[in-house]
Structure 1
Amino acid sequence: MQADQLAVQVVNKMMEHDAFSQWLGIQVIKVREGYSKLQMTLREEMLNGFGVIHGGIAFSLADSAFAFACNNRNNLSMALDVSITFTKAGQPGDIFTAEAREIHNGRSTGLYLIEVTNQNNQPVAIFKGTCFRTGRELVTVEAETGEV
């Protein structure tokens, strides 16, 4: 099985069981090994007390992109450290896109940079995440056929 095919299958399985990402309305746009691109439309119930989208929404979208990118090699990976810098507020109806790119793929750790933009391609947030690789598979791949 090709790496990108496996990546898609892993993310599909993750998304199938990810009630939070589903609740947020996250859509998987693109997946390839070490990469993911997600999108979501912001809703009224995501507003904070200041009348702008709660920062946790952009964080959650970026965190899901991070999770899908760092796990899609079929190696269960957990966040060790993350940080986010917000550059622009969001409003209901805005469409946020999070694009996760792998910076480093090590045996036991990985480093990812996730850029969140709005529908006008304006930067909303920059998220950096480091993961720990457990060595456990998320989907079972048969060695002979490569089938999941």
Structure 2
Amino acid sequence: MHEQYITNLFNNCQVGRLLGIEVYDLREGFARGRLTIQKDHINVFGTVHGGILFTLADHVGGACGNTLGKKSLLVESAIHYIKAVNEGETVLAEAMVSHRGRKIGRIDIKIYNETMEIVALMHMIFYIGSDDHSPKIV
């Protein structure tokens, strides 16, 4: 597995960069990412918008799925919001493959606040493609 290639791929994704998501600590079947909550991430009630946490979980989960050596794509996901997050806080997402079949897998993602309390839980079902997900050597 090419950890640095996958890290660079996801850290150069325009959506992740727009929000400020950093993916790091990739291993086969595992990924971490973080995001510092900015003013533009806040909803009308003064806490982080759920879509921001969803995107963080989706992004880090996507990086996790792609550590398996094949191009992997999200099929379905569900998220459960547990605790509010405020502007200025940094949240950490940890994603782990909990099931890997021949073509379908499951990833579980936990999002923590700075005191390591769980603020959201996501599970995603992903498709494992047949194309290798490795850098092309020219």
Give the letter aligned to residue 102 of structure 2: R
Please show how residues 52-67 of structure 1 align to structure 2 within 5 Å.
Answer: 52-67=47-62
The answer on 1:11 being equivalent to 2:31 is no
- Equivalent positions of 1:1-148 (< 5 A) are 3=1, 6-16=2-12, 18-140=13-135
Bigger share in strand:
2
Give the secondary-structure state (helix, strand or coil) at the position aligned to 1:14. Answer: helix
TM-score normalised over the length of structure 2: 0.92
Instruction: Give the secondary structure class of the aligned counterpart of 2:52.
Output: helix
Unpaired segments of 5 or more residues in structure 2?
Answer: none
- Structure with greater Cα Rg: 1
C-alpha root-mean-square deviation of aligned residues, in Å? 1.6
1:64, distance to aligned residue in structure 2 (A): 0.6
- For residues 13-33 of structure 1, the C-alpha deviation after alignment (integer angstroms, 9 at most, x for no partner) is 2332x1110111111231001
**Which aligned segments of 4 or more residues in structure 1 are displaced greater than 3 angstroms?**
none
Structure 1 residues 38 and 93 mapped into 2: Cα distance closer, same or farther (>3 Å)? same
Q: Unmatched 5+ residue regions in structure 1?
A: 143-147
Given that residues 8 and 72 in structure 1 are in contact (C-alpha distance below 8 angstroms), is that contact kept between their aligned partners in structure 2? no
For the Cα contact (< 8 Å) 2:11–2:21, is it kept in 1?
no
Aligned 8 A contact 2:10 2:23 in 1:
no
Percentage of matched positions with identical amino acids: 28
Cα-to-partner distance string for 1:21-51 (whole Å, 9 max, x where unaligned): 0111111231001110001100011111111
Across the two proteins, how many residue pairs are aligned to each other? Answer: 138
Q: Name the amino acid aligned to 1:138.
A: H
